[in-house]
Chains A and B, each alone.
Chain A
Amino acid sequence: MSGASIKASEIGLTYRLMRRLSFARGRHAPVHHRVETEGRKQFVTALDGVSFELSSGDRLGLIGHNGAGKTTLLKVLYGVYEPTSGSVDISGRVDALFNINLGFRQEATGRRNIVLRGLVTGWKLDQIEARMDEIIAFSELGDFIDMPLKTYSAGMSARLAFSIATSFDPEILLMDEWIGAGDADFRQKAQTRMRELTEKAGIIVLASHSKELLGRVCNKVMTLEDGAIKSLQSIDEWKAAQ
């Protein structure tokens, strides 16, 4: 592994709030971001001028209110959203853990989901097969691995998702508030694994509301407000400011 890095310069993400061309009028999803109206068009500014740099071994915590842009920023880094201004340069293989409902098939078994996730991440079937036992063991799912995902508890799903995402050797791991679901023992195991990942010159970006968790895991903390960076501090500065 040759050192991962993320360089974001002035990322902005503005999208038009689509009044869907539909016969059903007047239903709008509530939005927390900044909404601007221009004539009849509505625009949402989800990110605004976000710049930062991360290099090998960095563990960045994202904190901020609901709708501050934490998840949006993670999704830009992962490539789900393309920024409308600015640029992101990433070197290193990225994997992400969002909401468990995203990118998994509820009807398929845990084992099948491991295969699908692996394929989606760009691995070959034999490579996935070679890691299968290790992933299952780490997830502690036992016989549940051959049951459909929809029968899993929230904690079981989170364990599976975490095991998969960390087993395909990501150099950059993006995580969105996943950890609340695991039990204490698993959290301990997960933290060990995250530490190993950063020791191998990886990067972690973790969005969370838990200051305690960020304090334990991260070495930098970014506070977001209305899609913009309010502060970007080292963990010590951040702790001192609390």
Chain B
Amino acid sequence: MASPFAEAIGDFHTALKMRPVWMALAQEDIGEQHRRTTLGPSWLLINYLLLVGTFIVVFGYQTDPRAFARYAASGMLVWLYITDIVTLSTSLFVREASFIKGTRLPFSVYVLRLLMQAIIRFGYMALGWAGIMILTGAPVSPGWLWIVPALAVILLATVPAIIVFAVSGAFFPDLQFIMQNLVRVGMFLTPVFWGMDGRIAGLRGHLYTFNPFTHFLEMFREPVLHGTLPVPSFVICTAITLALWPMALYLLGKTRRQIVFVV
């Protein structure tokens, strides 16, 4: 039997070549969630604007409202993307049971399909984000280009994260509900809308520094707000990504043959 890594890489490689399949399935997912609705996927945009708008109204009075709007909008954009990934991936293989038991698609097809789905959802929210940037007169500078590597790292971390959550969720179904709760609490434990004033001492400081999600948020937010690259956050996120990949490949390779029996 091949090593778990070789098996997982083979699985992933085959899946990459099946791009039309996961693209079509991802489109299907987005369409299906909004079938029979009038506004369709625009609801994703509305959800985002409502959430960010609420935070701006409730917390924006204490500081520069425009800067706060940009701070909260950027933080929320990345946070909601993370939320999507975490909650959708724990139940991924169970939701796909019909295809897993009825076809021989590589498992990575489902992973890439979820990634695609999350990117489409991110795209709709990014429209709202861009609107807020324009309305608040954000000073666009060359420093904004740091957004590109930031998004690249986020993307590269997403794939192994989906694999780890999806495999764990298949063997440990309760994880789905644990993560749902953690994510709900996580919005407050992560500096999505607080921390702009720099008052991050004490417990808040620890939450800020030792929360890995902070750094994924800051990596995107700092270029937007200050046009600079947050080097420490960048290093931390890259390290997390590099650690996630071997873990994900090992888990996938090790459990690939058993998944069909547990979902």
Contact = CB atoms under 8 A, between A and B. Distances in A.
Interface of A: 15-16, 18, 20-24, 75, 78-82, 96, 98-99, 101-105, 107-108, 112, 115-116, 119-120, 124-125
A105 B25 CA distance: 10
A238 to B, nearest CB: 29
B37 to A, nearest CB: 13
A108 B261 CA distance: 26
Interface string B150-189: 0000000000000000000001111000000000000000
B239 interface: no
Interface stretch (B65-73, B94-102, B214-222): B94-102
Nearest to B102: A102
Nearest to B20: A119
Given A22-B172, A80-B101, 8 more contacts: A20-B262, A101-B98, A102-B101, A102-B103, A107-B32, A116-B24, A120-B21, A120-B103
A78 B104 contact: yes
B260 interface: yes
A119 B98 contact: no
A124 B99 contact: no
A20 B35 contact: no
Interface of B: 18, 20-21, 24-25, 28, 32, 35, 98-105, 171-174, 257-258, 260-262
A103 B105 CA distance: 10
Please provide the 6 A-B residue pairs with the shortest distance between their CB atoms, ordered closest to farther.
Answer: A102-B102, A103-B102, A79-B104, A21-B172, A103-B103, A119-B21
A79 B171 CA distance: 22
B20 A16 contact: no
A125 to B, nearest CB: 7
A22 B102 contact: no
Contacts of A82: 257
30 contacts: A16-B261, A18-B171, A20-B173, A22-B173, A22-B174, A23-B174, A24-B174, A79-B104, A80-B100, A82-B257, A98-B101, A99-B102, A102-B99, A102-B101, A102-B103, A103-B98, A103-B99, A104-B98, A104-B102, A105-B28, A107-B28, A107-B32, A108-B28, A108-B32, A115-B24, A119-B21, A120-B99, A120-B103, A120-B105, A124-B20
Interface of A: prevailing SS: loop
B32 A98 contact: no
Given A120-B21, A120-B103, A112 B28 contact: yes
A207 B257 CA distance: 24
A81 to B, nearest CB: 6
B169 to A, nearest CB: 11
A20 B98 contact: no
Contacts of B18: 119
Contact of B262 (A18, A105, A115, A116): A18
A114 B257 CA distance: 28
A113 to B, nearest CB: 10
Contacts of B104: 78-80
B172 to A, nearest CB: 4
Nearest to B100: A80
B14 to A, nearest CB: 11
Nearest to A120: B103
Contacts of A79: 104
A82 B262 CA distance: 15
A102 B21 contact: no
Contact of A80 (B32, B103, B171, B173): B103
Nearest to A102: B102
A239 to B, nearest CB: 33
A181 B98 CA distance: 20
Contacts of A104: 98, 102
A18 B261 contact: yes
Contacts of A119: 18, 20-21, 24
Contacts of B258: 15-16, 18
Contacts of B100: 80
A124 to B, nearest CB: 7
B20 A125 contact: yes
Contacts of A120: 21, 99, 103, 105
Nearest to B33: A107
Contacts of B99: 102-103, 120
A20 B99 CA distance: 21
A15 B198 CA distance: 55
Contacts of B173: 20, 22
Given A20-B171, A120-B21, A80 B102 contact: yes
Contacts of A78: 104
Nearest to B171: A21
A20 B103 contact: no
